[in-house]
Amino acid sequence: MTVQASRLKTFARSLGFAFVGLTSPEPPPHLREYNEWLAKDHHGEMSYLATERARERRTDPRQILPDCKTILLAALPYAPARGEPIAAYALGDDYHDVIPRKLRELMAWLENETGRRIAHKIYTDTGPLLERELAQRAGLGWIGKNTMLINPRGGSYFLLGEVLMDFELPPDPPFTADHCGTCTRCIDACPTDAILPDRILDSRRCISYLTIELKGSIPEGLRDRCSGWVFGCDICQMVCPWNLRFAADLAPDPDPLPRRALPLNLNAELSLTPEQFEAKYKTSPIKRAKRKGYLRNVAVALGNVGGEEAKRALEESLQTETEPLIREHAEWAVRKLQCT
C-alpha cells in the first residue's frame, strides 16, 4: 500500500467508516449469475435493476466514468437491532444523505492532498454497480449465505458507499475466504424462506422487499410471516454468528449514523396523517415506503401482534382512512383478529 492510500484510509476512518478498500474498475466476474437472478424474476417489482441501460452499465464501471482508474469502497457501521420492528439501519438518519456527504468530504481531502481535481462519481445503493461484489474484490469481506457482505472483524451491520475516480491507487487484495462454512442459521431463521441455496435471495419473499420495495399489496400468504416488522427486517443478521460475535464491538461511539428517537406505538402510528408522517420521517429512510406503504405494513403488523388495542386501532382506522391500500390490509388484519 502506498503512503497516499494509507493516509486516505486513515482519513476515511476519521469520518466514521469502519472499513475501506480499493479495487480496479474491471468488469464484475459474477455478471452471469446476476443476469440469471434477473431472468428468474427474483428482483420482483424492482424494474430499475433490469433496464437495458442499467444492465449494460453494470457490465463495466467505465461505462459510468470512462476515465475510472480506481474504485473506493467504504463501509459505514450502524448499531445492531435492539428489538424494534424496524431494520436497525433505518433507526438512524437516512444513509442516502449521510454517506455521500462523508464521501464528498473524503474526495475534497484527496484533491487537496494531491493538488489536482479528481473526476469522480459517488454512489450508495443508488448506482448501477454490483457493490457487494466490488467490496469483496476490495478486501472488505465475503458474501454470506444470506447475500450480505460479512467482514470477519465486524459482521454485517454496515452500509456501503462507493467512489469511482480517475485517480490511480493500488488495489487491495480481494477477500477470497468463505467463513460461512456449514452454518445455515440465516437460511433456517428466515420466516418467508427467501434465502435460497447458492447465496441467492428471492426478493419477492424477503420481508425487507415486502415492506419497502413492494408498492402494492403484500401477498396474503406472506402477511402472517411478516410478524411485527413494519420497515425492513434484520432476522438473518440477528442470527449470524459473525454479528453475535463482533457487532457489539463494531458499533462506534459516537455512531456516524446517529439514531433518532422513534417511540413506536404501532396503534398510534396507524393514525398518522400525511402531514404527520412527512414531519416525523422527513429525514428517515422510512419515508421511502411512503405513508401508504408504511401504514400498510403497520396494519399487517397489528394483525400479527394482536390484542384488543390493536383491534381497536384497526377498526378506528377503517372509520377514517381513505387510502385503498391501507384499508385492504387493515380489513385483513381485523378479520384475522376476529378469528383468534
- Among residues 41, 125, 188, 224, the one annotated as catalytic is 125
The answer to whether residue 166 is catalytic is no
> Residue 132: CA atoms inside 13 Å, Cβ hemisphere, count?
17
Structural contact between residues 171 and 23, judged by C-beta atoms closer than 8 angstroms: yes
C-beta separation of 92 from 76 below 8 A: no
Pairwise CA distance, residues 186 & 214, whole Å: 22
Within 13 A of 15's CA, how many CA atoms are on the CB side? 25
Cis peptide before 254 (omega within 30 of 0): yes
What burial letters (b/e) apply to 121-159, b meaning 16+ CB within 10 Å? bbbbeebbbbbbbbbbbbbbbbbbbbbbbbbeebbbbbb
Question: Exposure pattern of 246-265 as b/e (b: 16+ CB <10 Å)?
Answer: bbeebbbeebbbeeeeeeee
Phi-psi region of 97 (alpha: psi -120 to 50; beta: other; left: phi over 0): alpha
Q: Give the number of other Cβ atoms within 10 Å of residue 49's Cβ.
A: 17
Catalytically active residues are 125
